[in-house]
A = this chain, B = another copy of it.
Amino acid sequence: MGLIFCLEKTSRDTRARLGKLVTSHGEVSTPVFMPVGTQGTVKAVTPDELTDIGFRLILANMYHLYLRPGPEVIREAGGLHRFMNWPGSILTDSGGYQVFSLSPLRDIVEDGVTFRSHLDGSTHFLTPEKVVETQEALGADIIMPLDECVPYPCEREYVQAAAERTIRWAQRCREAKSREDQALFGIVQGGVYLDLRVKNAQDLVGVGFDGYAVGGLSVGEPAELMYQVLEETVPVLPKDQPRYLMGVGTPDHLIEGVLRGIDMFDCVFPTRVARNGTALTWQGKVVVRNAAFARDFAPLDSECRCYTCSNFSRAYLRHLFKAREILGPRLVTIHNLYFLFELMKKIREAIRMDCLESFRREFYRRYYGTENYPK
């Protein structure tokens, strides 16, 4: 097996846990946030800038890399790590979510899914076996099975059928898998129907995977429903294996996810808002173009020790965004990724010190300006 997970601690009062993921590309402390390198590059930054911040595990999208440059190019390059020159670990998403969110057409049958490329309209057919084969060509440390992601809201009957198909597809993925150095996770589906989630998680655990993802969340449902799903689903998952909440990455969702037993997260949130000029600070979001910053020569966040805050002022960053200079998105991306890395580090420290709930209270007060947070 290509993945070792060491559970180091479980909180006394919550489900939060500390752990280590070990792949052939190194060690990662959990809970961990994975930056998203959709097309084989975390947008606007180099691999070096990611390792300088502290990241050792990133996500890439099979769907995008399958369409461009294609798995054969990456296989010939010696795998995705070498292609993009990333020395750390990689998790590749299976494409289930992208087929659901990006393709102008999709047709799901038992054997697999037909979809149209969002790039050129060409038609493709993905099966569970093809998804494993493609991810074996890419060579990520952790790979995901083909799943069917349903929208919110969605009728119970359809959700149930999709969740059951997801199990059958996951089983086929497990059978198709041939590389020993890659770990395969299962993906729990079931929408916001708590009993379907529980059943789906049980069935998936019955098949047996190297880790378990909770998918199909953060697709428009109220946060409270997402938290409920986690509260019901996570206890079904094996304690000694990693749990991954897919597509989640705002600070509140990260904290709430950790409190509910999640070990891994990924989201485009920090990098996407950075390119639009929104910086995350310990005092909340900052809109870099804000006219108030025209002559503000302080850093984005006076507490932050990232490269951007160590070297550049709000006034300069505002100028870069007003002038549409590439350096603007670059510098705010570095800052936002650093912020989320630090947030996860503080979360891990708080778990270690058994004070995650007081950390949460303080964080919500400063970042969101509220004393209210989910029960």
Residues of A at the B interface (CB closer than 8 Å) are 39-41, 43-47, 64, 68-69, 73, 76-78, 83-85, 294-295, 297, 311-313, 315-316, 318-320, 322-323, 325-327, 329-331
A-B contact pairs, 8 of them (CB 8 A): A39-B323, A43-B326, A44-B326, A44-B330, A69-B319, A77-B316, A83-B313, A84-B316
A76-B295, A326-B326 known; A315 vs B41 contact (CB < 8 Å): no
- Is B294 within 8 A of A69, CB to CB? yes
How many subunits of this chain does the assembly comprise?
2
- Is B44 within 8 A of A319, CB to CB? no
**A43 contacts across to B, CB distance below 8 A:** 325-327
**A73 contacts across to B, CB distance below 8 A:** 294-295, 315, 319
- Is B68 within 8 A of A325, CB to CB? no
**A77 contacts across to B, CB distance below 8 A:** 297, 313, 315-316
Give the residue of B40, B295, B327 whose beta carbon is less than 8 angstroms from that of A319.
B40
- Is A327 within 8 A of B41, CB to CB? yes
- Is A326 within 8 A of B329, CB to CB? yes
Per the bound structure, the CA–CA distance linking A44 and B326 in Å amounts to 5
Per the bound structure, the CA–CA distance linking A219 and B323 in Å amounts to 25
A315-B83, A316-B83, A330-B326 known; A76 vs B297 contact (CB < 8 Å): yes
Give the residue of B294, B297, B327 whose beta carbon is less than 8 angstroms from that of A46.
B327
In this complex, which of A77, A297, A327 has the most chain B Cβ atoms within 10 angstroms of its Cβ?
A327
**A84 contacts across to B, CB distance below 8 A:** 316
Per the bound structure, the CA–CA distance linking A257 and B323 in Å amounts to 32
Known: A46-B327, A68-B323; 4 extra A-B contacts, CB below 8 A, are: A41-B325, A44-B327, A73-B315, A83-B316
